[in-house]
């Protein structure tokens, strides 16, 4: 592996840094975008099954909030109802929607960085290719032909092109996968939020 890196020349180091960053982001999003950490099964049913969910114990509220993304939205609504003497449906819905936007931003965290790596890696590979071509043409200067320099230039060009694609393709695939996963979770959270509103305002009228 070290020999390959040496053969690829110094332009490979930015690509190497991108590969480490991409792996870190992929594993972080794989952990954070688990179903149990976003929309656990039956959580909303359990909360709505309580007689007065807005009177949950403070410790239970804190645990629910830190448990998952859906819990954060539920807690925002319950806390608002608990602290306000009279809450209209529109006011309650506004609180839920604001909390949903905050949660959505957390779900999308680092996705733009992963997408940027997928876009930049081929360009870095192309840059390395250009550096290799410059070395090749330098080796062909009249009176200064150098087979070793020519071979090194070819290695730099080909290895950097390959490394750029090897980093970009998985990064792009995972970015699209996580993007679709976030869209799915967003829809699930919107449905859950609407159920929460309908639970407290079954008639659909402001109170």
**pLDDT surpassing 80 at residue 59:** no
**pLDDT surpassing 80 at residue 198:** yes
Angle at 17 between CA 23 and CA 33, to 5 degrees: 25
Cα distances (Å, whole numbers) of residue 138 to 7, 43, 98, 108, 128: 17, 66, 60, 46, 15
Cα distances (Å, whole numbers) of residue 31 to 20, 34, 53, 94, 119: 17, 6, 29, 30, 23
Q: Please tell me the distance from the alpha carbon of residue 24 to that of residue 114, in angstroms, as a whole number.
A: 10
User: pTM to 2 decimals?
Assistant: 0.83
pLDDT digits (tens, 9 = 90+) for 4-15: 666 666 778 889
Describe the crossing of helices 147-200 and 89-107 by its angle, rounded to 10 degrees: 160
* 60 close to 53: Cβ distance less than 8 angstroms: no
Q: Please tell me the distance from the alpha carbon of residue 150 to that of residue 173, in angstroms, as a whole number.
A: 35
* 125 close to 159: Cβ distance less than 8 angstroms: no
Q: Tokens 């020999």 identify what position?
A: 3
pLDDT digits (tens, 9 = 90+) for 94-136: 999 999 999 999 999 999 999 999 999 999 988 888 888 877 7
Question: Is residue 168 classed as helix, strand or coil in its secondary structure?
Answer: helix
Output the pLDDT for position 5: 62
Domain spans in the chain, listed from the N-terminal domain onward = 9-200
- The more confident residue out of 23 and 141 is 23
Output the pLDDT for position 107: 95
What would the two tokens of residue 24 be?
């870190």
Output the pLDDT for position 1: 58
- The more confident residue out of 8 and 71 is 71
**pLDDT surpassing 70 at residue 143:** no
Q: Tokens 């590979």 identify what position?
A: 125
Percent of all residues in the chain with a pLDDT value above 70, rounded to a whole number:
83
Instruction: Give the pLDDT band of residue 144 (cuts 50, 70, 90).
Output: low
* 72 close to 101: Cβ distance less than 8 angstroms: no
């Amino acid at each position: 592996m070290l020999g390959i890196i040496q053969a690829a020349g110094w332009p490979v180091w930015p690509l190497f840094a991108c590969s480490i960053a991409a792996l870190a982001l992929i594993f972080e999003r794989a952990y954070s975008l688990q179903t149990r950490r976003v929309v656990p099964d039956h959580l909303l049913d359990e909360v709505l099954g309580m007689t007065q969910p807005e009177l949950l114990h403070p410790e239970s509220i804190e645990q629910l909030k830190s448990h998952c993304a859906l819990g954060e939205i539920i807690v925002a609504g319950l806390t608002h109802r608990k602290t306000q003497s009279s809450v209209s449906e529109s006011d309650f819905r506004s609180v839920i929607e604001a909390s949903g936007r905050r949660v959505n931003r957390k779900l999308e965290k680092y996705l733009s960085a992963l997408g940027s790596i997928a876009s930049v890696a081929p360009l870095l590979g192309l840059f390395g290719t250009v550096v290799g071509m410059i070395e090749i043409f330098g080796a062909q200067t009249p009176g200064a032909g150098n087979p070793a320099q020519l071979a090194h230039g070819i290695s730099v060009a080909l290895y950097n092109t390959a490394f750029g694609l090897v980093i970009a393709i998985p990064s792009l695939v995972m970015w699209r996968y996580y993007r679709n996963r976030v869209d799915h979770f967003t829809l699930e959270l919107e449905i859950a939020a609407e159920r929460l509103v309908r639970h407290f305002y079954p008639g659909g009228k402001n109170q």
